[in-house]
Structure 1
């Protein structure tokens, strides 16, 4: 067997190096966290394959997962702690020891904590698969200023689901057993949050004859795999769903019995509400023919209960995204497929079963200090749902700039906000300002735009070198748990936060150290996995554990309450809701609902029913002096309502199938496959402007006049120049640009040859592949510089697909 060695090495492998051992772990090249197997010989990772023990991915792995070794062994990877020696952003660094880094960080954070202002220490995370240790460290410190990126990912969708069923904020269509799937803008074949697990089940359903209909502004790979694709105007997905609801109700295609039993409000009230949303109205707004809307609504209802919807960023990443996804979710209730085999399902565990596997104690209490930015009270549903904190990440830097909250120290972790956030030029300006952010520590694998603006950079271990407990929403409707373990030892002096945070806590002192009693990471996980048969040893050997006694989570709401459950319970005669004891706030605790004389668990909403109508959200809106409609509605996007001049378009964003956020562009394997992001424009639209395929254009974006952060005034946000690719596969009003490109720092592979600098933190190895960087100089642009900060007004989800731009042909 050929052993892959460090570039430039000529030594022959020893005999024992030829022996290959396999190590199960979990991927983190995207959010799906599939089970993987690392194949190792001579201490070096040779390849990555899928782990068949994973019930979600079932042994499959995508191109991103296969490319893991190229990130692990990237020559531009950070391997040593760095301290800034020049102006912030100058790119001048000095290599320091871990002891020096720990000392400075602990001294800074201790001073903030001891003067009673823990909220002035802010923590900005990106994809976080180490939620236990992050929360432990921040809670022990006492800061509530913990900012996630959920509003830039899926918060509108999650809030729509939590509103409707209460129990979960994640839908899991039982796709493999479905006969009809309505897809509203979910690109599961390339970039969905469930990606490989969803794609596996969707294609099996297709092989068994299931029909797939897709509504999307662009001919994605998912659209191409569908039976029918409708090219829709951005932001009209919810209207199409409401028009289908109109057909289902007016033609009596609904499951009236189920609705009258389980829906709030009853069937007649729903029919009355959707009566105004005719297919003809939807055709005028969306472009989808009324006849097709009627036909598809009938087909969907006829397939019930083995039918379902799927949606994601295509429907929810709009100013009206929350209402879009509530309308789409409602379709499932109308045909009575909720929780049924082949229907629209969910699971209460978005990760592992934390009742069976609780975090080892002692666990610190949550902070009592307050954070204006984290609370985001301007968005009434951002933090309205218990244990489902949406937060509004894109407001962090504008509000710091406005001095809404003082920040004395910022720690960014796997979060390249200076490149990946909307108005990233604004983010960079805030990070560069030492008055606004006096001290910035960046923890990451690679040098990045955000690290470029740090004071200290800590080299983070890759997912192939570290430990985690992890799991994702179970597509098979049975929760499981996985172990991410080192496939190889960490390279250089890179460390994981499971080593970094306990050491900083011990140095800060003041009681923080008491929450980190374990001497090693392994001993922590020994305790964590004790409840599993075989414990930590089983997890290390298999990588995944699935409780064989559990069954798929179908129709939990119909579960009968036992006599023990009902002992001491009382019924509200008006609503039928059963109460027993009090909750943590001292209010009566609902345990179920009487349904035709039977005590059932019901849904976990305030009414214990499916809340197509929600009084809870109306009340939350009233608290914030903002009107929220109780039922799903169509709210046209204000900036899209005027007639556009020929040179004005709506810019949308999408992910390339081999890239995900900021991690994958440092992979030379993936970057070689896809390293450009031209502007996709409809051929007929381009012809009106005299633009030909391959031409250069200038794209200028504008802030919507109804934007709230900063206040909307129609002013220019940004300008970039790029190449054009003409296609019939995009809506005539749309210019579509992938956001997985346009780096300025991070090494030659990440930047298409722009950044070949050396610094003290990079790996010191020769890389012969640099001579084969044939795509050097390829054009790629940072789309996020054009995107305004534009949150949905109810939840705060970023409106990625609503930016109005002007384009013009230029000479280069």
Structure 2
């Protein structure tokens, strides 16, 4: 294949070689060699250092950063003290940014498949050729009258504006994300309870007591550094106590004052048992609860009476005496106490109810919206009223899509403007031909490796009848790119533009700018260049929604509300309106005479209505009468904290599924039966230096953590005759649950790994990190499995001269044996409920 190319030519080709040794096919470049194209000079540099503010994207926290650049080359990255969320701190992932930017196995040029899909044979093409083929394909689908047959799948997207604009201009609603694999249950629980936000923000820095239900904020939380630094300041300045309930001894558990190793999926039962204690012993803020909740305190006390600490101990393993003590301590610290929860509590089959119980626990002690308490902010990102997206804005699609609707789950899209698509089910739907996909774009999402039942995903992507055309855009070659027809080289976050912000941990929203700190390497491009060009070539009116010529022109308009505009943002990286104050007690705000003009009061409930909702046609609630005073209230239908939610009960009835209006404990069916000696619950976790597929190609981070053995409790190992480092076979099973797809308890698959024995995991659990197990992406990402020897930017890179010293280290793909397991209520993937059997090899 390479007879006409010299070895020196091969080192100049801007693409990857593949993993023949692993039996996965070889990535071959079958046409011309190219000249190396670095935009920097390796080795020692001279001259002044330029400091460029921007925003990290090595994980979802999007911390502000300062890039130190000399002569066009990025030297180091540090935190930006002007970012109000991260306040100058960054983590190891952020520091490692240069290792991704200058990864020798990056994609730098467009590639087109030759031969069969998945065979791994490619030729380099021009952007003109790539644009023409993609635009021709998409134009034909759009003109066929079925625009929904073009689907876009994305991973963590920090360019939501341009993605939404392109899809709406095209007219397709077939857009699916990772939401159900990440935070759907938690968001649904919060929206159900308080209405105005789907993201809680404990006021940790001002708190005195933090009760953590399975949130690994020190390593892998969406608020990571902003949360972790505030936790530590609370401990230092307030002598705050941190109590963690988690099935594994994470770094977060290790940083806590107390850690309770609980059985997976029992967080909600523990929260209800604590509520039992608080009610029974009169430790509640009964006046606040009766004033601001839609369910009487005495009736809620009756509801939680059966959830005794002894019952919780029997199922969770947390001692009843500890449950009582922690409940009393938590209530005594009110209102300067709060909870935090994440995937440890909600990524379960019963996760919606778990997080409902945890949320209402806060209402019992009256800490909601108070300094040091359980808080929130209506803007999970920047204020889109203050910073409206530049026009013209395309209308939303009118056609329907199975992918977008997710009608099998009553709470998946229950709230207007809150898209909660059940992404883990989409490839099964495509296989079952419930959704026709004529063209698929995958963007920043290696679903062929990172999705549940990844082997099913790979089978569907390889099938040219199910998906006739697939183009992929990403920074690195991957399992998903390997199954594409065209691969587009994407800029790293250090080479592109974005408007960005994250939930404001200081309770005051802000806006940030991601800007290029160096020129893009090779021929990499961003969506902000690609989508406008595709829109112009597809035509049919799409082009009118992309009138600007450059990203800078677009962002000049976007940041017009900032004093100094884009120039200020480029110089500082972030801006916060000095007139805004922390979002405390929003429900107590009095309505003005202007707001009340023309309103009417519903006498039985005290809800104040004015006008109608333009989307639903129903009366528009604007507030509630509390003790004769018109206040804003919460934004639920009752304008109160909805301890009991008629809304979700009705949604359940409409979908022929029962959703209890009150927080309950719903035992996980497959966990409730007696286990055999070799059966365990498999849970998943993230290392502090990795985040999904975005960090695998970082040599600096992969060197720190490059393997994922199975954690096993020492007592459990003794019963099974296992010692440290022994090889085992782990076989997984689909759940016994008629409410989930293929819930027949059948065997799914097996993997082989080594065991790591520790006291830091529950005896009924086997814990495996899903940050490893790559088969494509170069030797750094795959521990040498992918024998790529073709560096993307020329032979000068020392990183390309040899395999990493950890080549061959154990690395297993957990997601291959993780079943598709949506929570029947919302569609959240149950990551921590899979039953497995282990066998010593």
| Partner in structure 2 of residue 291 of structure 1 | 321
- C-alpha spacing 1:467/1:408, structure 2 compared with 1 (3 Å): same
CA distance in 2, matches of 1:720, 1:766: 39
CA distance in 2, matches of 1:503, 1:329: 46
| Partner in structure 2 of residue 557 of structure 1 | 587
| Partner in structure 1 of residue 698 of structure 2 | 667
- C-alpha spacing 1:11/1:325, structure 2 compared with 1 (3 Å): closer
- Do structure 1's residue 677 and structure 2's residue 714 form an aligned pair? no
Contact 2:39 2:72 in 1 (8 A): no
Contact 2:39 2:521 in 1 (8 A): no
- C-alpha spacing 1:42/1:296, structure 2 compared with 1 (3 Å): same
- Do structure 1's residue 588 and structure 2's residue 619 form an aligned pair? yes
Deviation at 1:19, TM superposition (A): 1.1
Deviation at 1:227, TM superposition (A): 1.1
Deviation at 1:6, TM superposition (A): 10
Aligned equivalent of 1:33, options 40, 47, 62: 62
Residues 739-773 of structure 1, C-alpha deviations (whole Å, 9 max, x = no match)? 000000000100011112356x9443343234361
| Partner in structure 2 of residue 301 of structure 1 | 331
Q: What SS does structure 1 have at the residue aligned with 2:318?
A: coil
Contact 1:7 1:767 in 2 (8 A): no
- Do structure 1's residue 597 and structure 2's residue 637 form an aligned pair? no
Q: How does 1:500-515 map to 2 (within 5 A)?
A: 500-515=530-545
- Do structure 1's residue 721 and structure 2's residue 758 form an aligned pair? no
Residues 628-684 of structure 1, C-alpha deviations (whole Å, 9 max, x = no match)? 000000011000111111111000000000000001010000000000000000001
In structure 1, runs of 5+ residues without a counterpart are none
| Partner in structure 2 of residue 542 of structure 1 | 572
Q: What SS does structure 2 have at the residue aligned with 1:336?
A: coil
- Do structure 1's residue 451 and structure 2's residue 478 form an aligned pair? no
- Do structure 1's residue 392 and structure 2's residue 392 form an aligned pair? no
Aligned equivalent of 2:810, options 775, 779, 788: 779
| Partner in structure 1 of residue 780 of structure 2 | 749
| Partner in structure 1 of residue 688 of structure 2 | 657
Q: What SS does structure 2 have at the residue aligned with 1:749?
A: helix
Q: How does 1:45-194 map to 2 (within 5 A)?
A: 45-194=74-223
In structure 2, runs of 5+ residues without a counterpart are 1-35
Aligned equivalent of 2:658, options 627, 638, 656: 627
TM superposition outliers: structure 1 runs of 4+ over 6 Å: 5-12
- RMSD, aligned α-carbons: 1.4
Q: How does 1:638-657 map to 2 (within 5 A)?
A: 638-657=669-688
CA distance in 1, matches of 2:427, 2:414: 22
CA distance in 1, matches of 2:247, 2:43: 54
- C-alpha spacing 1:21/1:266, structure 2 compared with 1 (3 Å): same
Q: What SS does structure 2 have at the residue aligned with 1:804?
A: strand
- C-alpha spacing 1:727/1:539, structure 2 compared with 1 (3 Å): same
Contact 1:25 1:483 in 2 (8 A): yes
Deviation at 1:89, TM superposition (A): 0.5
| Partner in structure 1 of residue 71 of structure 2 | 42
Q: What SS does structure 1 have at the residue aligned with 2:802?
A: helix
CA distance in 1, matches of 2:606, 2:193: 19
Residues 137-181 of structure 1, C-alpha deviations (whole Å, 9 max, x = no match)? 000000000101100000000100010000000000000000001
Residues 213-270 of structure 1, C-alpha deviations (whole Å, 9 max, x = no match)? 1100001111111111110011000000000000111111110110110001111111
Q: How does 1:259-298 map to 2 (within 5 A)?
A: 259-298=289-328
CA distance in 1, matches of 2:389, 2:235: 40
CA distance in 2, matches of 1:697, 1:278: 39
- C-alpha spacing 1:807/1:606, structure 2 compared with 1 (3 Å): same
- Do structure 1's residue 732 and structure 2's residue 763 form an aligned pair? yes
| Partner in structure 2 of residue 422 of structure 1 | 452
CA distance in 1, matches of 2:317, 2:713: 15
| Partner in structure 2 of residue 494 of structure 1 | 524
CA distance in 1, matches of 2:707, 2:357: 36
CA distance in 1, matches of 2:288, 2:829: 35
CA distance in 2, matches of 1:39, 1:445: 22
Contact 1:75 1:766 in 2 (8 A): no
Q: What SS does structure 1 have at the residue aligned with 2:379?
A: coil
Task: Tell me the number of residue pairs that the alignment of Structure 1 and Structure 2 aligns.
Answer: 803
Deviation at 1:42, TM superposition (A): 1.0
Worse overlay, 651-660 or 769-778: 769-778
Contact 2:710 2:768 in 1 (8 A): yes
CA distance in 1, matches of 2:595, 2:213: 40
Contact 2:175 2:403 in 1 (8 A): no
CA distance in 1, matches of 2:40, 2:413: 53
| Partner in structure 2 of residue 767 of structure 1 | 797
Q: How does 1:691-710 map to 2 (within 5 A)?
A: 691-706=722-737, 708-710=739-741
- C-alpha spacing 1:269/1:10, structure 2 compared with 1 (3 Å): closer
CA distance in 2, matches of 1:561, 1:635: 40
Residues 380-401 of structure 1, C-alpha deviations (whole Å, 9 max, x = no match)? 0000012211110101100000
Deviation at 1:374, TM superposition (A): 1.5
| Partner in structure 2 of residue 438 of structure 1 | 468
Contact 2:213 2:340 in 1 (8 A): yes
Contact 2:555 2:566 in 1 (8 A): yes
Deviation at 1:718, TM superposition (A): 1.2
Q: What SS does structure 2 have at the residue aligned with 1:172?
A: strand
Residues 342-385 of structure 1, C-alpha deviations (whole Å, 9 max, x = no match)? 00000000000110100000000100010112110010000001
TM-score (normalizing by structure 1)? 0.98
- C-alpha spacing 1:707/1:133, structure 2 compared with 1 (3 Å): farther
- C-alpha spacing 1:558/1:403, structure 2 compared with 1 (3 Å): same
- Do structure 1's residue 198 and structure 2's residue 227 form an aligned pair? yes
Contact 2:41 2:73 in 1 (8 A): no
Contact 1:702 1:788 in 2 (8 A): yes
Contact 1:638 1:706 in 2 (8 A): yes
Deviation at 1:505, TM superposition (A): 0.4
CA distance in 2, matches of 1:324, 1:345: 18
CA distance in 2, matches of 1:558, 1:712: 46
| Partner in structure 2 of residue 523 of structure 1 | 553
TM-score (normalizing by structure 2)? 0.94
Q: What SS does structure 1 have at the residue aligned with 2:215?
A: coil
Q: What SS does structure 1 have at the residue aligned with 2:100?
A: helix
